[in-house]
Amino acid sequence: MVTFLAGGTGTPKLLDGAARVWEPAETAVVANTGDDVELGGHLVCPDVDTVLFAGGGVLDRETWWGIDGDTTATHAELGRLAEAAGLEAGPRYLDADAQTAGREIARWRRFSAVAEFMEIGDRDRAVHLTRTGLLDEGHTLTAAVRTLADAFGLDVDLLPMSDNPVATLVHTEAGETLHFQEYWVARRGEPAVADVEFRGADDAEPTDAVLAALDDPVVIGPSNPVTSIGPMLALPGFERALRETPVVAVSPFVGDEVFSGPAADLMAGVGREPSTAGVAAAYPFADAFVLDDADPTELDRHIERTDTEIDDADDAERVARACERALAAVDDDAADAPPPREGAE
């Protein structure tokens, strides 16, 4: 059994080759929900759905979000109506009272559908509406995701990190507070980052299914340490569980060069070095790392090296094999360690 922590595109890309290394039926994927939004009344779970669509064989692999070949007629009509009515385009946050009203899972991340700022495909929207309908019928997010995973024929066990609301909010140097989706989708990651908040994390908790999955060895793919993995680590008990199981992490950097996305700006914004060394500092619980052959970083933990750029399933298998070797090395080190002294905790 093995468990992957997934956010953004890094870990989903790694999962493309992981099935050649670990049996999918014995693989769990814990997905970040910090960047979920309620848009026009339906809950959008981007990091959950990237894994859902990839596993279901329908992911648009050019964008790494949404459904391949999807139409966007509803999205286009929303924009046309807003323009015709003279309504300002989004992101249009609902007001403070509305942010904490209605279904609890959507707290602090509610947007109007007027001129929706995220492009939602028509088939994609059906997934969000079904998920939201199941929530309104009284199902947990975990149960709703499991139902959708069955509908898409997933072989892995896909688990949202929590059934409680956590919102990733970016505080900018200009004094703004932006939901991550506004920062990244609407503002293209341009505002200078002063800090990142995981609102609600202190009152949220990992589900029992997630905690059970964390009993198994864990692989953290080359995801953004701040906004893809950070919301999980902010949950009470999550990092403690990682300290008690073997963990290998794949760096999203080669030295101080990031492969893609806003990881460098976000890490700098929260006071961490934007580099592989900074990732290692952010993951003190990790027992081993997979680094690119060209990465000059030396760490105080076990390192496996390979070409970590992932463009296709063969690349993903190569990186997954390195993760497998790293976990085996961690097991060997544990087996060779002397037994604890009598009375030692």
pLDDT digits over 129-174, tens only? 999 999 999 999 999 999 999 999 999 999 999 999 999 999 999 9
* Rounded average pLDDT over 111-128: 96
- Is the pLDDT reported for residue 26 higher than 60? yes
The whole-number pLDDT of residue 333 equals 74
The whole-number pLDDT of residue 341 equals 40
Q: Residue 336 — pLDDT band, cuts 50, 70, 90?
A: low
* Rounded average pLDDT over 58-73: 95
pLDDT digits (tens, 9 = 90+) for 266-305: 999 999 999 999 999 999 999 999 999 999 999 999 999 9
Lowest mean pLDDT among 11-25, 289-303, 323-337: 323-337
Strands 288-292 and 302-306: parallel
The whole-number pLDDT of residue 344 equals 40
Burial class (CB in 10 A: 0-12, 13-18, 19+), 255: middle
SS3 for the chain is CEEEEECCCHHHHHHHHHCCCCCHHHEEEEECCCCCEEECCEEECHHHHHHHHHHCCCECCCCCCCECCCCCHHHHHHHHHHHHHCCCCCCCECCHHHHCCCCHHHCCCEECCCCCCCCCCHHHHHHHHHHHHHHHCCCCHHHHHHHHHHHCCCCCEEEECECCCCEEEEEECCCCEEEHHHHHHHCCCCCCEEEEEEECHHHCCECHHHHHHCCCCEEECCCCCCCCCHHHHCCCCHHHHHHCCCEEEECCEECCEECCCCHHHHHHHCCCCCCHHHHHHHCCCCCEEEEECCCCCCCCCEEEEECCCCCCHHHHHHHHHHHHHHHHHHHHHHHHCCCCCCCCC
In the predicted model, what is the mean pLDDT of the chain?
94
Q: Residue 97 — pLDDT band, cuts 50, 70, 90?
A: very high
* Rounded average pLDDT over 193-220: 97
- Is the pLDDT reported for residue 343 higher than 60? no
- Is the pLDDT reported for residue 340 higher than 50? no
Q: Residue 339 — pLDDT band, cuts 50, 70, 90?
A: low
- The position carrying tokens 């700022």 is 117
pLDDT digits (tens, 9 = 90+) for 216-271: 999 999 999 999 999 999 999 999 999 999 999 999 999 998 988 899 999 999 99
How much is the pTM? 0.94
The whole-number pLDDT of residue 337 equals 63
